[in-house]
Amino acid sequence: MEIKKNGRPLGRPKTNHLEKPRNELILETAARLFLESGFQKVSIDDVAMNAGVTKATVYYYFDSKAELYKESIVSLMERIKCRIDLLMTSDKPLFERLLDVTTAHLQATTTLDLEAFMRESKTDLSDEQILEMRMVEHKMYEGIQDALQLAVDNGEIPKVNVTFATQSYLALIKVGNYKLPDGTPIFSSIEETSENILSIFWKGFFS
């Protein structure tokens, strides 16, 4: 049996070929738990139990809790990016594509406050791990900026600074996740929130 550099055996955990790969299952479970409870309150034991695997299996794929945290959040952001890219490359007009993205993004990030996660785990993650998370966060929104640039080039929208427009749009989306002191959202539904966000964005840049 091979031995990992940290001394743990490299025997790959058994898995049924019809099941989701164990590392993906662990990452999705970890992301959900970290989002629900935060970095400090979630243990490797918690992740293993909720994923239905052993603690040794978690450590087979991830050397530490910090690495598991980083990889789970990166994996989540990559899934969000894939969804955004898919919606932004549809045949719909730009306004409708952005409305779809706004709704999907709000649904995916209702409990995702990356800045809060960064602050909480800053002392536990390395500079390299934090940088990797930042880079993936930046890449999440490349599809939006590319679509805005293409719309400018095609004359679909007026000429604007697409970087500024993209960041303004994302800032409005973050406002959409705001909760009142009693925990309720500003609007009654995500759809209503999306419509208000996009109305303000569209009128501000393209009307």
CA distance 38 to 40: 6
Confidence (pLDDT) at 138: 85
* Residue 184 burial (10 A CB sphere; 0-12, 13-18, 19+): exposed
How far is the C-alpha of 54 from the C-alpha of 58, rounded, in Å?
Answer: 7
pTM above 0.85, yes or no: no
In this structure, the number of other CB atoms found within 10 A of the CB of residue 79 comes to 15
- Residue 179's pLDDT is 85
pLDDT for 1: 37
Annotate 140-155 with b (16+ C-beta within 10 A) or e (fewer). bbebbbebbeebbeee
The answer for residues whose C-beta is within 8 angstroms of residue 80's C-beta and 6 or more apart is: 105, 108, 109, 140
Output the pLDDT for position 17: 41
Query: Which pLDDT score, from 0 to 100, does residue 47 have?
Result: 97
pLDDT tens per residue, the chain (207 residues)?
A: 333 444 444 445 555 544 678 999 999 999 999 888 888 899 999 999 999 999 999 999 999 999 999 999 899 889 889 999 999 999 999 999 999 999 998 887 765 666 666 676 777 888 898 888 889 888 989 999 999 999 999 999 999 999 999 999 999 998 888 888 998 889 999 999 999 999 999 999 998
Task: Give the contacts of 90 (CB within 8 A, at least 6 positions apart).
Answer: 97, 100
